[in-house]
Structure formats: C-alpha cells, structure tokens
Amino acid sequence: MRQMKIAIIGLGGVGGYFGFKLAHTFSKGNEASVTFVARKATYEAVKERGLVLLSPEHEDQVITPHFLVSSVEALAKPDLVLICVKEYDLEQVCQQLGDRVSETTILLPLMNGVDIYDRLRKVISKGIVLPTCVYVASHIKEKGVVEHKGKPGLVVFGKDPAFPQYTPDEVIGIFRKADIQYQYQEDSFPEIWAKFVFIASFGLVTARYNLPIGKVNEEEELKERAMSIMQEIVTIAGIKGIVLPDDIINRTFQKASSFPYYTPTSLQLDVHSGKSDNELELFAGAIMRYGEEVRVPTPETRRIYKEIKNLG
C-alpha cells in the first residue's frame, strides 16, 4: 500500500484541529505522511514546540508533523490537500499550489462560503475538488496553540461535479483511521448552502449593528433584516438547482437560538476591530454576484453591504 502524502495548509482553528488529528494518527508515517504549511509566527511556534491542541478528545496535547514548511511553494507534490485558510487568501493559495496539483490530487477546501468550489476551479483545473462543509468549535488561543470545545469536528463532503465517477474511498479511510467525524454525500452543496443561510445572514446583521446573535434572534427589526437576506439566498439557491428544506428559514432561526445569547460572529468581530480582511465579500459579495448571474434581485444584501462598508 502506498504512503499517502497529506498537506494541511493553514493552522488556524480548523487546520489546527484536523491537522493535529491526522498527524497524531499517522505519527509513525507508515500509511501517510503529514506536512503542515504555516506562515511566519505560527511556523516559528510549531517549529519550536510542535502543534498544541487543547481538546477533551486528546490527552496528548502536542504533535510534531513529519514535515513543516513556511510556504505552499515548498510543498512536495501531495496526494491529499486540506485547504484551511481564510477565504480571502483562497486565490493566492491556489495560485501557489500551481503545478503541485496533478490529475489525481484530492483537494478538500475546509472553508465557509457557497462560492469556494467555483473560485477554486477558476484557478486550478486539475485534480479532484470535493465540495466541503465543516463544523468545528475551535479557535487559535495563541500562535501554534488551538483550543477545541464542544462536539467533535465534522466534515461533510461530496462528489466533484467535474468528476462524478470518482468516489473518495481513500479519504474516507484516512478519516476513519484518524477518528475524524465525516458525512459523505453524493451532493454536498445543499449542506453548504444551508450553513451559508445561517452564517451569511447573521454575520451581516450582527456586523452592521455590532450586536450578538441573541439580539438578532429577538429584536423584530434585526430579525426581519436577517430573514430578508435568508430569502434572497434561498431564492438564488432554488434557481441554481440547490434543494434546501422548505422550512430552512425557520430552522435557521432555531439554530441561532441554540447559541449563547451574547455570541458574536467572526464578521462582526473583524469589522468592529477595524480588520481590513474580513468575510464581507464572502457573504454579501457572493450573494450579489450569484444574484446577478441568475437574475435575482438582492436589495437587502446590497443595502446592508453598503451600510457595513460605510461603518469604516
């Protein structure tokens, strides 16, 4: 059996959690080798003391990967790549991957957003890209240290529309051995869009008003704005052939009510900390672009997009 070469690009909350589990499982390197790609301070921290994962799932909190590199260009040609960078870094990472991707390379973008597959494919035409949706409550505590709480992380992935004959048996085998929770679906896009209905609507409204999820779920004006954004997304999804539950909007508000009242969103935190790189284009930008493509008006998304832009 060949040794699978696995690369984890980005060691934030997502990459750190799943990368740790893979490197921990395959530490002997018999079945798979794991390479971490980390930048600057994170690279130095992991080089000095290894990757630290604070999680109830692992007593051993530190793992040293087989290989650690500071740039995508330094990667040997991998068999499986988990892309775990922020969405605004996606195109740059794909360009850097370049000729390191062969016809048989498997790419899993563990990222938020409904346009990730399309954006990735505009840059990388080779390889197998499995549309992916990820759920994990983990964050960077400090450089090289990731903290995980709550349920085990879950990866939902499906077939590559460009290669529908391919079934990811190798990926499933790797995830099982690493005790990574997963769901394989023939079509993972409904799951990706269902998550987007929540993260985009609540992200945009919480960012606009700098108020937590509980307030949006409670105050009528904020709730109506979130609902209008959800309806625009659902309409676009329907025209694009994405089958969502009939009660997706009610389900989304129910999901929001399961969060602690004062939970902020990442877009809210980034906008109000003055961070220039944030998820505004990932959320509002994607809704507006897809709306134009399928001729669905998106007035609420456009209005809140301008309002958030003007906050600066």
> What count of other Cβ atoms lies within 10 Å of the Cβ of residue 137?
13
Q: Do 167 and 36 share a structural domain?
A: yes
Q: Do 170 and 46 share a structural domain?
A: yes
pTM for the full model? 0.94
Q: Do 95 and 10 share a structural domain?
A: yes
Q: Which of 187, 219, 242 is the last residue of a domain?
A: 187
Domain tally, the chain: 2
Q: What is the SS3 assignment for 31-46?
A: CEEEEEECCHHHHHHH
Q: What pLDDT does residue 1 have?
A: 56
Please determine, for residue 312, whether its predicted confidence score (pLDDT) is greater than 90.
no
Q: What pLDDT does residue 28 have?
A: 81
Mean pLDDT for 57-70 is: 92
Q: Which of 187, 203, 232 is the last residue of a domain?
A: 187
**pLDDT tens per residue across span 294-309:** 999 999 999 999 999 9
pLDDT band, very low/low/confident/very high, at 150 (cuts 50, 70, 90): confident
Q: Do 206 and 102 share a structural domain?
A: no
Q: Do 213 and 240 share a structural domain?
A: yes
**pLDDT tens per residue across span 19-41:** 999 999 998 877 899 999 999 99
CATH number at residue 152: 3.40.50.720
Q: Which of 167, 187, 207 is the last residue of a domain?
A: 187
Q: Do 86 and 131 share a structural domain?
A: yes
Q: Do 264 and 169 share a structural domain?
A: no
Token duo for residue 184: 């394989």
Q: Do 260 and 172 share a structural domain?
A: no
On average, the pLDDT of the chain sits at 95
Q: Which domain holds residue 165?
A: 4-187
Q: Do 177 and 307 share a structural domain?
A: no
Per the listing, tokens 């750190």 go with 16
Q: Is beta strand 62-63 parallel, antiparallel or unpaired with respect to 51-54? A: antiparallel
